[in-house]
Amino acid sequence: MKYILMMNTMKAGHGVPEWPQKDLQAHVAYMKSLHKELSDSGELVSAEGLSFPDQARLVRAGKDAAPITDGVFPEGKEFLAGFWIVDVETPERAYAVAAKASAAPGPGGAPLNMPIEVRPVMSGPPPEML
Amino acid sequence: MTARHGEETAFDHLLRELAPHVLGAVMRRFRDFAAAEDAVQEALLAAALQWPLEGAPGNPLGWLIQVASRRMLDRIRSESARRNRESEVALEAATAAGSPAAGAAPEQDDTLLLLFMCCHPSLTPASAIALTLRAVGGLTTLEIARAFLVPEATMAQRISRAKQTIKSSGIPFQMPDSGERAHRLLSVLHVLYLIFNEGYTSSGGSGLVRDDLSNEAIRLARIVHRLQPDDTEAAGLLALMLLTDARRQARTDAGGELIPLADQNRELWDQQQIAEGVALLSATLPKGAVGPYQLQAAIAAVHDEAARSADTDWPQILALYDLLKRMSGNPMAALNHAIAAAMVHGPQKGLALLDGLAADPRLSSHYRLDAVRAHLLEMAGDRAGAVRHYRAAAAGTANLPERNYLTMRAARLSSGSG
């Protein structure tokens, strides 16, 4: 069963975190080791990090389907920072991976405990034949 | 299921037939399952590249065993070089252990032994499926990865971990004793059932690739049935697959949307496959040891034998589900039993049975309970109730074609055209 784990943690107007180098390194190392763990266990389907919110544009089709873009977002709006798609045996395992990502270290090495949204991907078990 | 998406050549077919025999022979000589399995994959790959250009060798099995054995020896050689030539003696012994083709005699037992290993209960279902498809089915890691919509590296890792599990749990390459054998055979049948089911429903990806999983499950079930002709459940599983797969062309429309049994164009059903399944089942049921696969096959046969949906022998299906429900304790059997009861005795009877099932914690929050209730409410003429439960079921499934079907059904009823 596949799940998407979404890190909805970036606030509009925020860019590169201004943490001490040591803390940034610890954070990056933690995320890399999580990636390796999921690769080694044969559970990783894909993982992507997204650009900072200042690159985000909201697009709608206007007249003649011409694109209309908005680029200034209200402070406090949360953005997707990145996601993992994992293929795991149980929902509990997906939650455990999400908790691990959530506990990535932030400034001073303390766990960030960021919220990770976990949702089944529509590729679920086929209806049983019975 | 080749890199050319289903255009299976005669060589592919031959290689996959031979794969478990090669692996069995190499295993008996070298004992190391993980390494032998890798060596056999390399030999199969070499053959797939070489044979179409140069023609198949006179003794294809001997050729493959020889190439795989050479890879094993190379591996042992490089490992022993690393260990300061300590194991040179072991290498001499392995090299001297007869000509490679000499190991090809008891081929049939090898396939069964390999299935017992690959479907060992210590493996998770996903691992057992992947390992079975590679080691016994002779599929490449890339082909398996495509069928399950995961990257090749992920599938490779899953297979390698499965082999590690087998190694560390010390599962021997030998026939389990008679007491354990029946139980282990059930694990094998279950894994084949899961492979079939995965391919039968187009839950994602290219339909063609996934259809091939069903074909592969049928091929492996045929092998198991040939090796264990007296096992009635092995025969029952093969019959179930044939009788279910016979409806494949009719169960989705051109856009890939699900068509329920009652609305299928029965002219599209594969009559030859139905005849084969029915004949197999008819030869098996009188043997007496009736199990869940045979019962499911019997139910599929009753459906298949109805020329029109209205001709379906529901009392017969109800009796079979009644047996299945008592035998398996599977909540899905109980749900289908309620549908059959509704078809025989009217929707109120089915709905009353569902009320009893809602207490089962395995079902109470399961979307299938809502789907069945919606169906029975629709039969009873309660449109609003049916719409509500179709929508609840649609919200609960993680299978896209099924969600589309349930959503459509609700929309049709609420717009009044159903």
Q: Is residue B112 assigned to a domain? A: yes
Per the CB < 8 Å rule, is B197 touching A126?
yes
Q: Is residue B307 assigned to a domain? A: no
Task: Check if the beta carbon of residue A99 is closer than 8 Å to that of residue A12.
Answer: no
Per the CB < 8 Å rule, is A122 touching B332?
no
Q: Is residue B198 assigned to a domain? A: yes
Name chain A contacts of B399, Cβ cutoff 8 Å: 122-127
Name chain A contacts of B201, Cβ cutoff 8 Å: 126-127
Residue B10 structural domain: 1-105
Shared domain for B64 and B121, answered yes or no, is no
Question: In the A/B pair of chains, how many CB contacts fall below 8 A?
Answer: 77
Read off the tokens for A72.
Answer: 């200034």
Per the CB < 8 Å rule, is B157 touching A39?
yes
What's the distance, Cα to Cα, between the start and end of chain B in Å?
40
Q: How far is A122 from chain B (nearest CA, A)?
A: 5
Name the domain boundary from B57, B78, B105.
Answer: B105
Per the CB < 8 Å rule, is B154 touching A130?
no
Q: In Å, how far from its chain's centre is CA A57?
A: 18
Shared domain for B67 and B136, answered yes or no, is no
Task: Check if the beta carbon of residue B77 is closer than 8 Å to that of residue B2.
Answer: no
Name chain B contacts of A1, Cβ cutoff 8 Å: 398
Name chain A contacts of B332, Cβ cutoff 8 Å: 128, 130
* Helix-helix angle B314-328:B331-345, to 10 degrees: 160
A3: which strand partners?
A86, A120
CA–CA–CA angle B153, B72, B133 (5° rounding): 40
d(CA B344, CA B146): 43
Q: Is A98 on the interface with B (CB under 8 A)?
A: no
Query: Domain extents for chain A?
Result: 2-52+84-120
pTM of the predicted structure, to 2 decimals? 0.88
Q: Is A41 on the interface with B (CB under 8 A)?
A: yes
Cβ neighbour number for residue B374 with a 10 Å cutoff: 25
Residue whose tokens read 């090749």: B152
Strand, coil or helix: A110:
coil
Task: Check if the beta carbon of residue B41 is closer than 8 Å to that of residue B140.
Answer: yes
Q: Is residue B66 assigned to a domain? A: yes
Contacts of B342 (CB under 8 A, 6+ apart): B349, B350, B351, B376, B379
| Beta-sheet pairing, A67-70 with A58-61 | antiparallel
Read off the tokens for B316.
Answer: 């017969």
d(CA B88, CA B85): 5
Shared domain for B120 and B81, answered yes or no, is no
Per the CB < 8 Å rule, is B149 touching A43?
no
Shared domain for B120 and B94, answered yes or no, is no
Per-residue pLDDT of chain B (418 residues; tens, 9 = 90+): 444 444 467 888 899 999 999 999 999 899 899 999 999 999 999 999 999 999 889 999 999 999 999 999 999 888 877 776 555 555 555 555 544 444 444 555 789 999 999 999 999 999 999 999 999 999 999 989 988 889 999 999 999 999 999 999 888 888 888 889 989 999 999 999 999 988 876 545 445 456 789 999 999 999 999 999 999 999 999 999 999 999 998 988 888 788 899 999 999 999 999 999 999 999 999 998 899 999 999 999 999 999 999 999 999 999 999 999 999 888 899 999 999 999 999 999 999 999 999 888 888 888 999 999 999 999 999 999 999 999 999 999 988 888 989 999 999 999 875 4
Domain total in chain B: 2
